[in-house]
Amino acid sequence: MRTKLLVPVFFWICAGPALADIWTFETPSQNIQCSVGEDFNVLSDIICTIINRSDPPALPKPNWCNSDWGHTFSMKERGTVEVHCGETDRSKGGFDRAEYGVTGEFGGFVCHSSKKGLRCSNRDGHGFFLSRARQDVF
């Protein structure tokens, strides 16, 4: 069963009257937090952060990165996943809950929350799987 699990927040873009939607959600453990942006005539994007992880990052840390690596992942509704270098926001709460077993479709993405972790993919089949024990990019 597929359920729209997120409640949109609406705001106006300064450049004109285009309406944009932003959804935020987190896993029940509050260890993975995501936001999805969907704008009129623009590719949607998703960014997810895993606050605490126990294994090596999904991709090797580049030499130029002098900050946290392998905690924040993003992608557009078309194209590949990016892993970000930057300080990880470790605050929890304030997001809608994506209960385990729920699949949400929004902005060109499908995300499934399970006790094993969070799996999100885009229209091209690229995506990521995030859990405390494992992170994968595909």
What would the pLDDT profile of 81-129 be if each residue is shown by its tens digit? 999 999 988 887 778 888 999 999 888 899 999 999 999 999 999 999 9
Q: Region 60-83: what's the mean pLDDT?
A: 95
Between residues 23 and 33, the one the model is more confident about: 33
pTM: 0.80
- Judged on CB neighbours under 10 Å (0-12, 13-18, 19+), 56 is exposed
Render pLDDT for 104-116 as a digit per residue (tens, 0 to 9).
988 889 999 999 9
Rounded Cα gap, residues 65 and 84, in angstroms: 9
Beta bridge partners of 127: 121
The total of other beta-carbon atoms located within 10 Å of residue 55's CB is: 11
Residue 75, beta-bridge partner list: 46
Strand partners, 47: 35, 74
Helix, strand, coil percentages in the chain from 3-state DSSP, rounded to 5: 0, 50, 50
